[in-house]
Amino acid sequence: MSENKNAENCNHVCEGCSVADCGSRRPVNMKIEPNELSSIKKIIGVVSGKGGVGKSFVTSMLAAEMQRRGYRTAVLDGDITGPSQAKAFGISERASGNGQVIFPAVTKNGIQVISTNMLLDDEEQPVIWRGPMAAGILKQFYQDVYWNDVDYMFVDMPPGTGDIPLTLFQSIPLDGIVVVTSPQELVSMVVGKAINMADMMNIKVLGLIENMSYVECPKCGEKIYVFGQSHIEEAAEKHGLSVMTRIPLDPRISEASDAGSIEDLQIEAVKPAADLIEKL
């Protein structure tokens, strides 16, 4: 797919073009529809500026919390180079289909999940698809999977603001995004980029979640800010956003992700974010 670098060699094919301010971007609707058997009421994208901040963990915890609250919930793992949802939910089966639709895996609590890991014979195999192909597979996850009566779908978005996240922003009708950051990040820059991208696509930013925010002393409960005081409040204020919650560093999180039992883990700090999503 061609990428128009400036207005002079613009071919007016806006899909896949990452030039935001070319002056000739047309408000074309590139949204895709799920297949006719599917029903999805609300779609929340979970984004981050870079990998490793806990975006996938936040996605799975939000899904687990909403399912616990009685909503029918789904996870579309769009993090193509670091797909971790299948493992976190203890799913080892391959995706199956009937020639018409693809069936998601269903976790023990009933969460519907699809991930590129479920397409690979060996989950340690790297995904070597180029951008357009990877974006195409993710669109297929939305369009060709039979999403059975879903109240909340959480999309674990690829990190950053590159080609693949851009395509997902353009094509999946997101009702809002949640931005996950960690205190080590240059929060204001990351937030600024994510917000600008969401703004350009008319997508609402629901708020920020700071992960790995602090460690809580198991004896006295004191909060220790191992990475120093964060600047998330200032960044949020600057952009007129709210900090949905701050999640501590907690060894139970990596243990549960590795053991495939993320659904059984309850982290108090996730609940305020779920409360806000419930009001959406």
**Contacting residues toward ligand ADP, per CB under 6 A:** 48, 51-57, 79, 82, 84, 211-212, 247, 249-250, 253-254, 257
In whole angstroms, give the CA distance from residue 83 to residue 230.
Answer: 28
User: Max CA-CA distance within the chain?
Assistant: 64
How many Å apart are CA 231 and CA 236, to the nearest integer? 9
Shortest spacing between CB 56 and ligand ADP, in angstroms = 3
Minimum distance of ligand ADP from residue 157's CB (angstroms): 9
State the minimum distance, in angstroms, from the CB of residue 85 to ligand ADP: 9
Q: Which is nearer to ligand ADP, 99 or 251 (CB)?
A: 251
- CB of 232: closest distance to ligand ADP in angstroms? 14
Give the Å distances, CA to CA, from 24 to 4, 19, 170, 228, 234: 11, 10, 17, 44, 34
Closest distance between ligand ADP and the C-beta of residue 17, in Å? Answer: 26
CA-to-CA separations, 60 to 12, 63, 67, 118, in angstroms, rounded: 38, 5, 11, 16
Q: For ligand ADP, give the closer residue by CB, 91 or 253.
A: 253
Which residues are within 8 A (CB) of 188 and not within 5 positions of it... i.e. 6 or more apart? 231, 234, 235, 238
Q: Which residue reads 């108090």 in tokens? A: 268
Nearer CB in complex with ligand ADP: 79/263: 79
- CB nearer to ligand ADP: pick between 102 and 247: 247
Residue identified by tokens 């779920």 is 274
Looking at the DSSP bridge assignments, the partners of residue 246 are 210
